[in-house]
Amino acid sequence: SQKIEQNSEALNIQEGKTATLTCNYTNYSPAYLQWYRQDPGRGPVFLLLIRENEKEKRKERLKVTFDTTLKQSLFHITASQPADSATYLCALERGTYKYIFGTGTRLKVLA
C-alpha cells in the first residue's frame, strides 16, 4: 500500500534561516503532490502543488521540489519568521478524487 513519511519530530530553527521539510513516499508514482499548512485548532490550508514533470515550484518565500526518482519532495521556507510556525502536511493524489496525507512536520521558528 502507499505510504508517506514526514519527519514526525518537530523542527526548530532560528528566525531568518531556511527551513527544509521532507516528504518521502513509497509504492506509488503520483501525478502531483500538494503541501498544506495547519495551525493549531484549524483545518489545513493549501500552499503549493507540484506536478510530476516539474522539478521545482516557487511562491514568494516558499519553494517545493519533486524528485520522482528518489520519491521525495522537499519544502523550503526561506527567511523564516515566527509566523511560519505551524504543522506542514504533504499530500499525494491517489486517483482522480482521493488523497493520502502524511502525518505532518511541526515547525517552530525561534525569534
Partner 1 sequence: NAGVTQTPKFQVLKTGQSMTLQCAQDMNHNSMYWYRQDPGMGLRLIYYSASEGTTDKGEVPNGYNVSRLNKREFSLRLESAAPSQTSVYFCASRPSGGDQPQHFGDGTRLSIL
Residues within the interface to partner 1 (CB under 8 A) = 4, 8, 31-32, 34, 36, 41-46, 49, 51, 89, 91, 93, 96-99, 101-104
What's the burial of 7, exposed, middle or buried (CB within 10 Å: 0-12/13-18/19+)?
Answer: middle
Closer Cβ to partner 1, 17 or 59, answer by number: 59
- Residue 107 DSSP label: E
Instruction: Name the one residue in this structure whose C-alpha cell is 527567511.
Output: 79
Q: Which of 67, 48, 73, 68 is closest to 58 using CA atoms?
A: 48
- State the nearest-atom distance from the C-beta of 97 to partner 1, in Å: 5
Closer Cβ to partner 1, 54 or 67, answer by number: 54
Instruction: Name the one residue in this structure whose C-alpha cell is 503532490.
Output: 33
- State the nearest-atom distance from the C-beta of 3 to partner 1, in Å: 11
Closer Cβ to partner 1, 47 or 74, answer by number: 47
